[in-house]
């Protein structure tokens, strides 16, 4: 019985690899894939070990090599993100946000953040990490038309509420936030500007979005696996020593014990690869998102912000109310192996989370496979075929799988074949071919 169950688990993993890894067009905006080299290093002995504490000052013995790898990570991250102070120990972006809320505010303090339909992440809100800290959340006013923060209205909110923290960034994040102007507004009441870069971290590193620290943000948090294509985890960075000194102990020993060490070698490799290929990759991600938005718009879809070329990030947002809403559209697309997610749009109510108006589409993973503008037009046509019912689902699914097979390899990364020491790690464990 145990042996049969083990085989079942292995088969499920293989099925996942075959389906999501090789047969779908993945447009989930919060996902990406590691390079073959980073992926191979993800299953090392690091996964079995503990390294509580700071680099070179651990609570346990046996961390000499872990210290070296984490030290490399920290130095590379400091360079890539232009930050003096970096902490990699948060094991998710949401936990990084919680550390900021613990470090810079106390229970009962007011903060300001975007509502979820306007792009705010659940961790910003009273039912997420902010609420766990006991913070009183005030809404950042948002322009539906421009899909960005209403500065004049925000100034009034800040003057009245006097928040300790203004949290920027979001899950639906089409355009750079006006960080410089918001920093001036924050300074009038002594508020910290916290920027959640989870979705746009790779675009920031690639110089294709904005540089929040340079524009006045006091601290940046992010996850390391969206437009930045590393292992799942979190990061915190800042140029302010006083801010770092308050947030760092909230991470350890406050919220994190051991910090999932197996991700460190993979993160180090991804940072190195981003130094080499990040700018080229980030530019193509944005070009692809714009091209996909344009193609859908020209086919009659209600893509948000056509007057602003749809996006400046990896995301586009589409109102699919006429096609049954976001939940129905996402489900039908999944049947054709096109993976998107339903998404609240600014005019939706939070109570509509199960049946929102929109879908959110991200270009970062298909770009990793080498797809460019021409492929975005093909993807738009496939999406339209499904939602308009122009062709049978199985026929579209076949074309999706055909397109996916045309792009089998990960781009913008080091060639794993040049590193004989790791070739075979992943294939030995799961029977997965590392490269074509």
**Residue ranges of domains in the chain:** 39-272
Is pLDDT above 80 for 212? yes
- What pLDDT is recorded for position 350? 86
Phi, psi of 360 (to 5 degrees): -110, 135
Is pLDDT above 50 for 197? yes
- What pLDDT is recorded for position 436? 44
Per-residue pLDDT, averaged over 29-44, amounts to 93
Q: What is the CATH number of domain 39-272?
A: 3.40.640.10
Per-residue pLDDT, averaged over 43-57, amounts to 93
- What pLDDT is recorded for position 164? 98
Among 282, 140, 150, residue whose Cα is nearest residue 210: 282
Among 95, 123, 96, 119, residue whose Cα is nearest residue 111: 123
Among 311, 317, 306, 318, residue whose Cα is nearest residue 290: 311
Half-sphere exposure of residue 272, counting CA atoms within 13 Å on the CB side?
Answer: 14
- What pLDDT is recorded for position 434? 44
Half-sphere exposure of residue 368, counting CA atoms within 13 Å on the CB side?
Answer: 28
Q: In this predicted model, what pLDDT tens digit does every residue of 243-276 receive, in sequence order? A: 999 999 999 999 999 999 999 999 999 999 999 9
Question: According to DSSP H, which parts of 240-306 are helical?
Answer: 241-249, 263-298
Is pLDDT above 90 for 431? no
Among 317, 321, 285, residue whose Cα is nearest residue 303: 317
- What pLDDT is recorded for position 435? 46
Residue 263 CA to chain centroid, in angstroms? 16
pLDDT classification of 313: cutoffs 50, 70, 90: very high
Cα–Cα separations (whole angstroms), residue 231 to 65, 78, 86, 284: 19, 18, 17, 21
Q: In this predicted model, what pLDDT tens digit does every residue of 350-390 receive, in sequence order? A: 888 899 999 999 999 999 999 999 999 999 999 999 999 99
Supply the mean pLDDT for the chain. Answer: 95
The proportion of the chain whose per-residue pLDDT surpasses 90, expressed as a percent, equals: 92
Among 193, 268, 205, residue whose Cα is nearest residue 233: 268
pLDDT classification of 422: cutoffs 50, 70, 90: low
Contact 274, 80 (CB under 8 A): yes
């Amino acid at each position: 019985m145990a042996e049969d169950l083990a085989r079942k688990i292995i088969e499920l993993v293989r099925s996942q690899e075959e389906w999501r890894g090789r047969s779908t067009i993945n447009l989930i905006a919060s996902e990406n894939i590691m390079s073959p080299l980073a992926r191979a290093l993800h299953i090392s002995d690091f996964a079995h070990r503990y390294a509580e504490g700071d680099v070179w000052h651990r609570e346990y013995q046996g961390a000499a090599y872990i210290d070296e790898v984490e030290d490399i990570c920290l130095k590379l991250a400091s360079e890539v993100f232009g930050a003096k102070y970096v902490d990699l120990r948060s094991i998710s972006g949401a936990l990084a946000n919680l550390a900021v809320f613990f470090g810079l505010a106390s229970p009962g303090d007011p903060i300001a953040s975007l509502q979820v339909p306007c792009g705010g992440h659940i961790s910003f809100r009273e039912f997420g990490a902010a609420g766990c800290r006991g913070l009183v959340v005030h809404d950042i006013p948002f322009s539906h038309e421009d899909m960005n923060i209403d500065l004049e209205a925000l100034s009034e909110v800040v003057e009245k509420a006097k928040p300790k923290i203004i949290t920027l960034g979001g899950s639906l994040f089409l355009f750079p936030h006006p960080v410089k102007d918001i920093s001036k507004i924050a300074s009038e009441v002594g508020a910290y500007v916290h920027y959640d870069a989870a979705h746009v971290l790779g675009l920031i590193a690639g110089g294709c979005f904005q540089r929040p620290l340079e524009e006045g943000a006091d601290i940046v948090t992010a996850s390391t696996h969206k437009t930045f294509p590393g292992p799942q985890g979190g990061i915190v960075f800042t140029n302010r020593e006083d801010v770092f000194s308050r947030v760092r102990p909230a991470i350890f020993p406050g919220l994190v014990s051991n910090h999932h060490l197996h991700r460190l070698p993979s993160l180090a490799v991804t940072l190195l690869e981003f130094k080499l290929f990040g700018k080229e990759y980030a530019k193509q991600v944005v070009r692809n998102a714009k091209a996909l938005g344009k193609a859908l718009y020209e086919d009659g879809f209600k893509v948000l912000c056509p007057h602003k070329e749809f996006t400046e990030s990896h995301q586009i947002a589409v109102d699919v109310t006429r096609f049954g809403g976001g939940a129905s559209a996402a489900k039908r697309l999944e049947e054709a192996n096109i993976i998107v997610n339903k998404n609240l749009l600014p005019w939706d109510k939070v109570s509509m989370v199960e049946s929102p108006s929109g879908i959110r589409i991200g270009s970062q993973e298909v770009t990793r496979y080498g797809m460019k503008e021409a492929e975005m037009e093909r993807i738009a046509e496939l999406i339209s075929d499904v939602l308009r019912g122009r062709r049978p689902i199985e026929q579209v699914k076949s074309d999706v799988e055909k397109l996916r097979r045309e792009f089998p390899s990960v781009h913008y990364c080091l060639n794993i074949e040049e590193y004989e020491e790791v070739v075979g790690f992943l294939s030995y464990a799961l029977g997965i071919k590392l490269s074509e």
